[in-house]
Amino acid sequence: MLTILAAGSVFFPGLFVLSKQCLKYIPALRWSEGDAVIVSARLVSSVQAIMASSAGYIIASSCDDIIEDQHWLTKAYILFAVPYFVYDIYAMFMCYWYKLRVKGHEVDTGAKPLSAALTSYLRREFLMVLHHVVMVTVCFPISVFWRQGKGDYFQGVMFLAELSTPWVCLGKILIQYKQQHTLLHKVNGATMLVTFFICRVLLFPYLYYVYGRYTSIPIYMVPFNVPWQVNLGAALLMAPQVYWFSLICRGALRLFSGSSRSRRPPVATKEDPDGKAPSQPANGYSAHTTEQESGSH
């Protein structure tokens, strides 16, 4: 157990550092520190998502009995991935910090200390940080200990929720580098919308449906036939997904209905003397993602 935790603790931060150094020092690239940090954070998130989705597919497809069947990869990947959520809180803050500096905020002159930036980050990204904290402090012990080896199929399907993450990360990179006008951004936006809806919003209704079919009861009776803790946990996990999906929908509406406006150069205002829109939240699900620069994951 400790060995797998240690492996995850080394792998994700190590991949972040390696990617950042490559982007900074490979002669053909020579990216700035800020750009390297932001893109490296997206890369690590995408790698974790691909690994989780692959593990989820293997687990779910291997379980004939959705309650009793077990797969060794379930517990192993949970232990391996837990350090990612701790690392990602740090990575999101580093992205936020460098975005402030790139935009010419007071951070560059030292007038705004690190503690103030941290407070601003926690206030702006409270929901995303809370989500990560809950994954470590609540979901981890429940998945490893409370389940007592039951329901590996459900855990595998929940891993598949990460299928949407690479598209979210790519979308934020394209926005970061002002590629909203490209066909790639539009195709990626449509793909992100579909995968997020299927893999995150429909996830829990599907799990309730599967359990109802397994126990031969209609889906509307499932909430009354499972422990109340299951219903509470499902509601708490699904609520932020629905909220983020609503922001993605609003951003997609702006993208596909106002693409002609998005090609116009920004107009400076009193609040925005450089013609730049304020940064979007670090979770990347802002309603204005088609017009703003992307935040960090």
* pLDDT above 50: residue 106: no
Q: Which of 49-63, 92-106, 144-158, 258-272 has the lowest mean pLDDT?
A: 258-272
Q: What does the pLDDT look like over 175-185, one tens digit per residue?
A: 888 888 889 98
For the ranges 35-39, 84-88, 174-178, 266-270, the maximum mean pLDDT occurs at 84-88
Quote the pLDDT of residue 178. 82
| Average pLDDT for the chain | 83
| Per-residue pLDDT band at 267 (split at 50, 70, 90) | very low
Q: How far is CA 215 from the centre of its chain?
A: 33
**pLDDT average, residue stretch 105-127:** 73
What's the rounded Cα separation, in Å, for the pair 224 and 137? 27
**pLDDT average, residue stretch 154-181:** 90
Quote the pLDDT of residue 242. 94
CA distances 239 to 225, 227, 256, Å, are 21, 19, 26
**pLDDT average, residue stretch 256-274:** 49
Does this model's pTM top 0.95? My answer is no
Quote the pLDDT of residue 258. 66
Phi-psi group of 216: left, alpha or beta (phi > 0 → left; psi -120 to 50 → alpha; rest → beta): left
Quote the pLDDT of residue 102. 65
Which residue is associated with the tokens 């400076």? 268
Long-range (24+ apart) CB contacts under 8 A made by 116-121 are: 118/93, 120/96, 121/92, 121/93, 121/96, 121/97, 121/282
Q: Which of 22-31, 101-110, 168-177 has the lowest mean pLDDT?
A: 101-110
Cβ atoms 9, 45 nearer than 8 A = no
Instruction: Tell me, letter by letter, the H, E, C secondary structure of the chain.
Output: CHHHHHHHHHHHHHHHHHHHHHHHHCCCCCCCHHHHHHHHHHHHHHHHHHHHHHHHHHHHHHCCCCCCCCCHHHHHHHHHHHHHHHHHHHHHHHHHHHHHHHCCCHHHHCCCCHHHHHHHHHHHCHHHHHHHHHHHHHHHHHHHHHCCCCCHHHHHHHHHHHHHHHHHHHHHHHHHCCCCCCHHHHHHHHHHHHHHHHHHHCHHHHHHHHHHHHHCCCHHHHHHCCCHHHHHHHHHHHHHHHHHHHHHHHHHHHHHHCHHHHCCCCCCCCCCCCCCCCCCCCCCCCCCCCCCCCCCC
**pLDDT average, residue stretch 92-104:** 80
Quote the pLDDT of residue 112. 57
Cβ atoms 30, 24 nearer than 8 A = yes
